[in-house]
Amino acid sequence: MSEVNFAEYKNIWVFAEQRDGKIMNVALELIGEGKRLAAELGDDAKVVALLVGSEEQVKDLPKECFTYGADMVYTVTDPLLEKYTTDAYCSVITQAIQKFKPEIILYGATHIGRDLAPRVAGRANVGLTADCTHLDISLAKYIDFAEANTTLNTAGLDRNDPDKKLKMTRPAFGGNLMATIVSPTSRPQMATVRPGVMQKLEPNPNATGEVVEFKPVLTEADLRVKVLEIVKSAKELVSLTEADIICSGGRGLGGPEGFELIQKFADKVGGVVGSSRACVDAGWIGHDHQVGQTGTTVKPKIYFACGISGAIQHLAGMQNSECIVAINKDPDAPIFEVADYGIVGDLYKVIPEIMDAWDNAEALADALK
């Protein structure tokens, strides 16, 4: 890699992924996280939302980026950018990097972000950290995070260290291990970040900022693959990351028909259906329901783990839920180690009783001393 002059690289970019002219939630979460990081970075670092697409798709979106905290928006528009393709998006983003030299770029770890970011990293010859769940710049903040959430011995770290590298923390080995990664030798520092883990800012509808148009060089010949069709799945959209309540089933259901009860349960409590990897692998339910290290990371208000033993890779995806309720026949199931409320019993008997009790919550709460 050739020497880079780090002083030239400024600002924090968020790839503001849009599909059909709608900004992905994770992009707004990353703008919020970018704001937090910019404060740690200092030097008037700005949070810049990078909007890529057709002019029609992008034209109304800068306002939304400002509302959620962006200081500035770069728009990159071309009819050839209407449908996402690796070739076109990689080309225009690499051109924008060369021109504007951002210090950090954050992408949502979506099926598009995880396709795009590695190709950009390969072309720009920079480091990329995948699927981050926590980011820090200041070492003091990193120490606070580590002490509160991890087993890391922080004795060797100095709170006053002026180091301003982006510290990117991610799970590895199926969530058994966490690693904090840095990219000390290349710029921009790049990360994909899991949807659902960072916090959106409170919207400020009056916020505004500068919009800069960037016109890249792009021709039809640059697009080697053709997107013939985009098919939305006919089934109801599972939005695990947005759900307040998730009712999740595991191998303890005994078979695919167990998800009928879980669906009824979810309908009753206003939740959505999740699943452990075992059930997805067994073909009992679609992969879009999977919670865990290789599925979706969730942190709902209530997570009902029904017949889920609690493999580490599953825990990695749900243990930050505000309240975890575990129902399992096996009193030694690891899921009870992270549960706020544990019930040892037959889920086929317990769940219908919870559904019965649900509408009576007020009276039941009063009945408890």
Partner 1 sequence: MFNIIVCAKQVPDTNEIKINPETGSLIRDGVPSILNPDDANALEEALKVKDTDPDNIHVTVVSMGPPQAQDMLFECIAMGADEAVLLSDRAVGGSDTWATSNAITAVIKKLPFDMIFSGRQAIDGDTAQVGPQIAEKLDLPLVTYVQKFEIASDKKSVKVERQLEDGYEVIEAPIPCMLTCTKELNTPRYMNMAGIFNPDKKITVWSAKDVEVDLTTVGLKASPTNVFRSFTPKPKGKGTMLSGDTEKDVAQKLVGSLKKKHVI
Which one among 181, 198, 266, 291 touches partner 1, defined by CB under 8 A?
Answer: 181
- Smallest gap from residue 184 Cβ to partner 1 (A): 6
Residues between 60 and 99 with contacts to partner 1, criterion CB under 8 A = 83, 86-87, 90
Site for partner 1 in 318-347 (CB under 8 A): 319, 322-325, 336-346
Q: In angstroms, give the least distance from the CB of 170 to partner 1.
A: 9
Q: In the structure encoding, which two tokens stand for residue 61, read together? A: 């979106």
Task: For residue 78, count CB atoms less than 10 angstroms from its CB and return exposed for 0-12, middle for 13-18, buried for 19 or more.
Answer: middle
Query: Which one of residues 8, 39, 177, 203 is an interface residue with partner 1 (CB under 8 A)?
Result: 177
242 binds partner 1 (CB under 8 A): no
Query: Looking at 2, 224, 257, 332, which residue binds partner 1 (CB under 8 A)?
Result: 224
- The answer to whether 361 contacts partner 1 (rule: CB under 8 A) is yes
144 binds partner 1 (CB under 8 A): no
**Do 208 and 66 touch, CB atoms closer than 8 A?**
yes
**Least distance CB 44 / partner 1 (angstroms):** 26
Q: Interface with partner 1 includes 7 (CB under 8 A)?
A: no
Residue 160: strand, helix, or coil: coil
C-alpha span between 87 and 66 (Å, rounded): 28
* Residue found by looking up tokens 């970040």 in the block: 193
Any idea what DSSP says for residue 346?
-
Neighbours of 323 (CB within 10 A): 13
What letter would DSSP give residue 5? -
CB 197 within 8 A of CB 133: yes
Residue corresponding to tokens 């009193």: 331
Is 256 an interacting residue with respect to partner 1 (CB under 8 A)?
no
Does residue 356 belong to the site contacting partner 1 (CB under 8 A)? yes
Choice between 206 and 233, CB closer to partner 1: 233
* CB 126 within 8 Å of CB 190: yes
Do 209 and 73 contact (CB within 8 A), yes or no? yes
Q: Does 225 bind partner 1 (CB under 8 A)?
A: yes
> Taking CB under 8 A as the rule, does residue 196 contact partner 1?
no
Q: Between residues 46 and 251, which has the closer beta carbon with respect to partner 1? A: 251
Residue 58 zone, left/alpha/beta (φ > 0; ψ -120 to 50; rest): alpha
Interacting residues with partner 1 between 260 and 299 (CB under 8 A):
281, 287-288, 293-294
Binding partner 1 (rule: CB under 8 A), the pick from 140, 207, 282, 350 is 350
Stretch touching partner 1 by CB under 8 A, among 53-61, 128-136, 198-206, 251-259 = 128-136
